[in-house]
Every structure is written in C-alpha cells, then in structure tokens.
Chain A
C-alpha cells in the first residue's frame, strides 16, 4: 500500500517517454503504454486486496505553506478510491490494448498513447488525492487529457470545436468547484478531507455556508459529469477516437463528478438542500438525456446521451442517500458502457460510418462483437441478472426510500427509455438486412476482441458484488471508508425490482416490435408529433440557446468593450494629445520672433512663480 504512489506515476512515465521518444518507437509505443497500465493495474489490485477490511492509509508531505497553514500533497487509500483505482486502471489497460489495434496506421500513433498515459495519470492522481486542492489540480488535468484526446484529430474543425467546448464547459463547472474549495478552506482551515469532515461534524460551519459550498462543489461535478445544464459538451466529445470515448467519456472521467460527490458525501449529507439539488439535477438529467437518446442517429451519440443519462442516475442515487447505490452503479456502468463503446468502435471500424441508419444486419458478420454488444445493452437496460439490473434496482429503491416519488417516477421512465433506445440501437445495427453495402466487413482482431470480452464478463458479473440475495459485499466494503453513510433500505418493497424488470422488458419489446420485427412503424412519433420530435432530435435546442445567449452575449459584450477601449480610452488619450498639440500650435502662433514678447512672457512666468512662492511662503498673511 505504501507503493500506491507508483500507480499514477507509471502512466506518467509512459507519457513522458512517449513524448520524448515516441517518434522513434512508432507502433512500439503502444507497448510502453500497455506495460505501464498493466503494472498499475496489478498494483491497484494489490492495493485493493490489501484494503479489504484494512484501514485507510495516508501519506503526504508539505507542498506549499501559506502562513501557518501547510498545504500538503500526498496520497490516500480508502475503500472508495481503492475501488476506483481498480476500475480506472482496468478500463485504461483494456483501452490501451484495444487502441493498439484500433489506432493502427495513424501517423500520430505515439501521441495518442502519450495522451492516454497523461489522462490515466491524471485520473489516478485525482482518485488518490487526500485533499481537495490536489483533487482540483488533477481534476483540471483530467480535463486537459480529455481535451487533448477529443482534439486528437486536430485537422477536423468539428474536433477542434468539440475540444474547445469540452474544456470551456467543464471549466465553468470547475470555477464552481474552485470557489467551493476556497470557501471551504477558509471555513474549515484545511483542504484535507479528514479535517473538513471533522469541521462539519463539529458544526463549526454554518448550515447556509455548507449548503452554498456543497452546491458549488456540485457545480464542478455537474460540469465534469455532463449533468444538466452543462451536458452539451459530452455528446460533442464523441469527435475523439472511440477508445477515448470508452475510457474518458464513459468509464472514468465523467464519473469523476460522481466520485467527487461520493468523496465529499458528509458535506452533502449535512445539507438537505444540497442533497435535494443533487437528486433533482440527477433525476432530470437522467430523463432528459434519455429522451434525446431516443432520436439520435449517430451510434456514438446515442451512447453519449445514454452516458449522460446514467450519470444522472448516479447523481440521483447519491442525492437520495443511496451512497452504495451510486458507487455501485458507477462501477457497473464503467464496465458495460466501456464495453458498449468498444463494441461500437469495433462496428465503426468494420463499416466506417457512425450513422446507424446506414448499418444493419451486422449480427452475422460480426460474430463476436454483436453478442458482446448485446450483453452491454442488456446490462444497461437492467435486464434481470445482468449487472445493470442490480445497480439500477438499488438506485430505484434508494430514490423510493428517500420519499421523492416524483423523481422515482422519472427514474422509472428513464429506465424504460434506456431500454428502448439501447435496443433500438441494437436492432438497427445488427438486425435486419444491410441498408447499404460497406464492402468487406470483417470482424476485428484479437487485441480489440480481448478487452471487449473481459468487459463483457465483468458487465455480467460485477452486479453480483452487491445483491439482495448473495450479500452486500460492496456496501460492507465501502462502509469501512471514512464516509459513514446511513444504512440504506436495500430491502425496499419487493415490487420495485419487478417494476424495473417489467419496464425494461417493455422497452426492449417495444424496440423489437418497431425495429426488429418492424411491426410498428418507426416513424409514428415524428409523424404524429413532428414538432416534438424535431425538438427532441435537435436536443431541445440547448446548444442553439447557449449559442444565442451566452456565446453571443459574451462576444457582444467583448465587442462593446473593445469599442469602449478603442474609442473611449484611446479617444481620451488621443483627445489629450490633440489638446496639447492645439495648445502648442496656438503657442507657436504667439511666438513671432520678437525679443520683447519673449521677454514679456518670461516676466509673466516669473511673476506667476513669484506669486505662488509668495502665497506658499506666507508673504501675504
């Protein structure tokens, strides 16, 4: 456990190595990344095993001193972040392996792996941080990694715009986090989790302040996790290479917001207003994004909106007091969403398009990818006995137990939507006949299949870590952590799992009827309610609204000020200049070369000076 600091450093090493020598290593640079993450994974697994039932471990050193306060940097191992370490290193490792094949032939191959290393480093650093300042630093660095990878295809204008958007949107959230951390520092006198929790427990911080700080920190989480209203960057982020989407925009970074809320849970619990905010934002995001997902045509965008929606689920769980449920879903989601993205990548790799309307009938051609995709889809839809089923149940139960029945209804509806659009996707891609010829469609090779297979297994099995039947291993494990959460109503009313199953089956069935069997017309919605469907298809015009208000507002404001700068400030300067020039001109007219006039002016000046002198010297008093 003392070696935990090596876990993030190994990927950093790979980053530096590839930055310096990547050009020479070429394709071999993949091995540097894979090796580093594999080592990290093994270390992380060791750490987690050592953590099982053990105590938290913390090591830190002074980094900077502010007056008497010493700001420290270090690392901490507790149940929550040990779990996260394993998830991150595992997904990262699998994505590295997958990318080796997926990115083959790209002329900036080594850069891609360098960026992956940087991102993995930042994400692991974030997870290991024992204090909020360090969290913030790595928080920004994961944003950087995400930015670089989204903009990996730098020559594509869409990628450029998406990268910029991702960075700026998350930065808006980060500012909230920034302010929250600073306020918390002055309230609690420290950035350390322990001290902050102690201050909260001692009641030294006023409850209004706690609410304010909790909401500010949540704003940071909203930005990173793509929650409403800062969600628009996440679907655009799909401009990055697909493995990146799997790693960053499904499994790890976007979950950082959820992780942050989980890590700061005592703070949120201390304020019911903050909890409500988290739950409401999460719930609305879940249904909102799911509804957009219904209409999208790009395979990755559907998955992206599904990610937003699932993250909303996690927030809803946390906001409803379902700490374990949130973290549990975070874990299962990481596996099945990564699986879905990788499978989608495999499909894209095969057919070279992302538009699902151009796909179809791929079940027979992609004999391994398709079943794996099905596993992922079943899991996310909450099909019984798949991992998503268990974690989603927990969330529903937590929400129900919390007594916010409106949100509960939303969550159930979102579950239905999820099942529907996932299978809409599945049937459109794999069922039926090819709507278009794609030339030779071949199954991906080993390095791409293997990670998907591993994830497929996990997507099924991960659910059994915490079930009402076999035992709540995960909850027990997490309860050793510093975050003491209230005992949850895991054993809620029995009808909830049944309802959830029914809803998910209904969604799948509907999708089957519409897209598999084509019994129902696909277009009944767009035909019966064209305006609504357009609104949904255009993602509720959120992007357009932001563009019209914030973006244009800022630009307009800037232009206004630039006019102020140019005409008012510059104008004042130029005005002074011309005034002095004018005075000089007038003065030079007066100068006609006559000695006596010069003399007279000199005398006048002398008199004036003398007057001043006399007045100042008190002559006239």
Chain B
C-alpha cells in the first residue's frame, strides 16, 4: 500500500514548481506568466496534500490548507487578469517587458 515514498511526491512537486518558476521568469506574455504562477501554486498544493498523508502528523489539515490555497489562487487569477485588462487598455500590449511603469 505505502510503496510510494513521500519524497517522490515532493520531487514531482519540485519539478512542477521549477517549470512554473521558469515560465514565470522567462515568458513574455502576461497571461502565461499568470498561468505559470498558478502552476507554482499547484505544486505547493501537492506538497500540502502529500504531507497530509505522509507527514509527521498526518491529518486533514493539509488538505484543508490546500483548499484555502486554491481559493486564494482563484481570487489572484481573477484580480491578476483584471489588472492585465486594465493595463492592456492603456498600453495595448500584454508583453511583460513593455510593462515598466514601476520604474517611474
């Protein structure tokens, strides 16, 4: 039954997190950057759920936490996209490298 060790889940989560991170850092399209961040959040969720089962103190807490994370992620996606729309309206682009308002 317990033939799958915890570390395998963690490594999977790590791989997904790294993919998400790489995407967030290198993609120019803002939508893809947002979605990469979602991927990173998902990787974290895997960790939470994995620890809920295999952790030092197994229990439901990890799962509940992941639920909260998902909620927050959804909210984040909505707001992020709203910001994106507003930006797009002003600058007619979704390229991240053209968004340098923060410099000023």
Contacts and interface: CB of A to CB of B under 8 A. Distances in A.
B24 interface: yes
A617 interface: no
Interface stretch (A51-59, A74-82, A362-370, A590-598): A590-598
B96 A594 contact: yes
A452 to B, nearest CB: 94
A593 B102 contact: yes
Interface in A7-22: none
Nearest to B97: A594
Given A594-B96, A595-B96, A600 B25 contact: yes
A599 interface: yes
A282 B103 CA distance: 84
Contacts of A596: 24-26, 33, 96-97
B104 interface: yes
Of A591, A594, A595, most buried by chain B (CB within 10 Å of CB) is A595
- Interface of chain B: mostly helix, strand, loop or mixed: helix
A592 B96 CA distance: 12
Interface string A579-607: 00000000000011111100110010000
B12 interface: no
Contacts of B104: 593
B101 A593 contact: yes
B70 to A, nearest CB: 23
Interface string A40-80: 00000000000000000000000000000000000000000
B37 to A, nearest CB: 10
Interface size class of A (residues with CB under 8 A): under 10
B14 interface: no
Contact of A593 (B25, B26, B33, B103): B103
Contacts, number: 27
Contacts of B33: 596
A594 B100 contact: yes
Nearest to B104: A593
B21 A595 contact: no
B99 interface: yes
A603 B24 CA distance: 11
Contact of B102 (A595, A599, A600, A603): A595
Given A593-B104, A596-B26, A596-B33, A603 B21 contact: yes
A599 B25 contact: yes
Interface string B66-93: 0000000000000000000000000000
A593 to B, nearest CB: 3
B14 to A, nearest CB: 13
A591 to B, nearest CB: 7
Contacts of B102: 593, 595
Contacts of B97: 594, 596
Contacts of B100: 592-594
Nearest to B24: A599
A591 B103 contact: yes
A200 to B, nearest CB: 81
A595 B83 CA distance: 14
Contact of A592 (B21, B24, B25, B103): B103
A600 B25 CA distance: 6
Interface string B17-46: 000010011100000010000000000000
Contacts of A595: 96, 99, 102
A591 B102 CA distance: 10
A150 B42 CA distance: 92
Contacts of A600: 25
Contacts of A599: 24-25
A152 B37 CA distance: 87
A596 B23 CA distance: 10
A599 B104 CA distance: 18
A600 B33 CA distance: 13
A180 to B, nearest CB: 73
A573 B100 CA distance: 36
A603 B25 CA distance: 9
A593 B21 CA distance: 19
Contacts of B25: 596, 599-600, 603
A591 B99 CA distance: 13
Nearest to B26: A596
A599 to B, nearest CB: 6
A371 to B, nearest CB: 102
Contacts of B101: 593
Nearest to A595: B96
A591 B24 CA distance: 18
A144 to B, nearest CB: 69
A593 B102 CA distance: 5
Interface of A: 591-596, 599-600, 603
Given A595-B96, A596-B25, A596-B26, 10 more contacts: A592-B100, A593-B101, A593-B102, A594-B99, A594-B100, A595-B99, A596-B96, A596-B97, A599-B25, A603-B25
The 9 closest A-B CB pairs, nearest first, are A593-B103, A593-B100, A593-B102, A600-B25, A596-B96, A596-B25, A594-B100, A592-B103, A599-B25
12 contacts: A592-B103, A593-B99, A593-B101, A593-B102, A594-B97, A594-B99, A595-B102, A596-B24, A596-B97, A599-B24, A600-B25, A603-B21
Interface of B: 21, 24-26, 33, 96-97, 99-104
